[in-house]
Structure 1
Amino acid sequence: MPSRSDVITPALLRDWALPVPTGGKEARGTVLVVGGSRFTPGAVLLAGVAALRAGAGVLQLAAAESTAASLSIQVPEALVVGLPETGDGAVRGDPGDLLRGLVAEADVVAVGPGLTDIETTGELLRLVLDAAGRETALVLDAYALGALSHAPDLLVGSGRKVVLTPNLTEAKHLLGRDPGDDLDAEAVELAGRYDAVVSLYGHIATPDGRAWREESGDAGLGTSGSGDVRSGLLAGLLSRGADPAQAACWAAFAHAVSGQRLVPRYGRIGFLARELLDEIPYTIATV
């Protein structure tokens, strides 16, 4: 029997209104994105800008040092820190005290966009968990999910605010098998197994078994960088004060509907991930 979940609609979201912080940028929180490699700096850029578009007050990017200068020019709103690289251009797993200090001060840390080495990502993930405050929210994506699948008890019982954002390939690694057709059920299983909120292709689940599904997503979202946008969007919503399940539901809806808004201009499969970014604030504001 298929799992039961609530459809994410504008009415549901209006009854679950996002926090609207008052005051300066600090009230909207600091998002730190840890990711990138010499060859994939764009993933960090997309996630970071999405976090700002979703309402984060302060953005910090930590990426491979060879890309830091370029990122700082392309995202002038962000503090950009270069991290040591391996010979292959991946971020090293021992980046030193600078990253540890940034993690300790951040309200939300997104780990994974653009990382390319599973072993060093595992080391980075442990550093983040060790340095992050108990109230720091975490978004784990891409290679960070692969690293988590190698240490499945890493989050269990921690009480941390964590959202996992797997695609089907990453879900396969986390489950240890191919996902079935009932993605509601798979999201619920993952949430319970890893003790975190899970957002799996618009299917949201919490460790206690609550579940929602977003039905507006279309084929155009299956494009390079789209997942990075979704992860950053989630981080930005967490930064402004949403709880993990709320942020995951709002992010799934805003991601999907932002894609819908691009269809008249570019067709169902012609838009780019970076074009989603400018649609995010309007989509959120008009729910």
Structure 2
Amino acid sequence: METPPSELSVQDWLATTGIDWATKIVLALAIFIIGRIVVKILTGLILKAFKKAKVDDTLAGFLTKIANVLMLAVVVMAALEKLGVETTSLVAILGAAGLAVGLALQGSLSNFAAGVMIIIFRPFTVGNFIEAGGTKGIVEGISIFNTNMRTPQNQVVIVPNGQIMGGTIVNYSVKDTRRIDLTLGVSYDDDLRVAKDTINRVIAEDERILKDPAPIVGVMELGSSSVDIVAWFWVNSPDFLQTKMDTTEKMKVELEKAGCSIPYPQRDVHLYQSESKSA
């Protein structure tokens, strides 16, 4: 801003430079005020668009805030430009600062990107029982950076989203039914027909086991110490664990009642005594 050289020239300075600066300030304020109003309207439209597209509320709110900040930054830059402030160097400084912050928060940004992918593609939802990020449990919450899981031991584990998306995700709850796979070994001396009939009877008596798809019972392998019979049958997902425990116990009991033995690996040790001869 130019300083008037003397009191005699104040009127001339006001008539030229002063009016010019006043005009710039008024225009800058107008740009800022109108820009804020426009940004507010656009932010509301963006949020409505996200809701209409049924984007997750957490992701929609976060992205809307980012858009709001970026648009306000453009408005502020335009207002400063009108005042004659050189914004090129300011943009460069902000860019360098952003790069430094990005490098410092590289892990957090990776978790953020993974969180966005989880919310958009939904490989699992709250309430699902999953195995991911080295943890198995029920999903209790999904945020931008972390996923909260409750283990069967009632422990709350906070898993970074980057670890989840960087590995294999097993969702045990996404399907309504699950298959139970049991392997039962019987002795080579046992009657296989009796063993299979006993296993089929245990399956048929359990109302939790579905009839369709039909259960499968058959000899899978001739092991080193037993004949391995597999039993595959389907149950509703909530009944999986309890049904597996109950049928495993009952099949052992019923097989023993039917005269079938469940062998286990044995090792025969033979001792030989050598006679030492005196010289």
Q: Which of the five TM-score ranges fits, normalised by the shorter chain?
A: under 0.3
The higher relative CO (CA closer than 8 Å, separation ≥ 6) is in 1
Larger radius of gyration: 2
Structure (1/2) with the larger helix percentage: 2
TM norm structure 2: 0.20
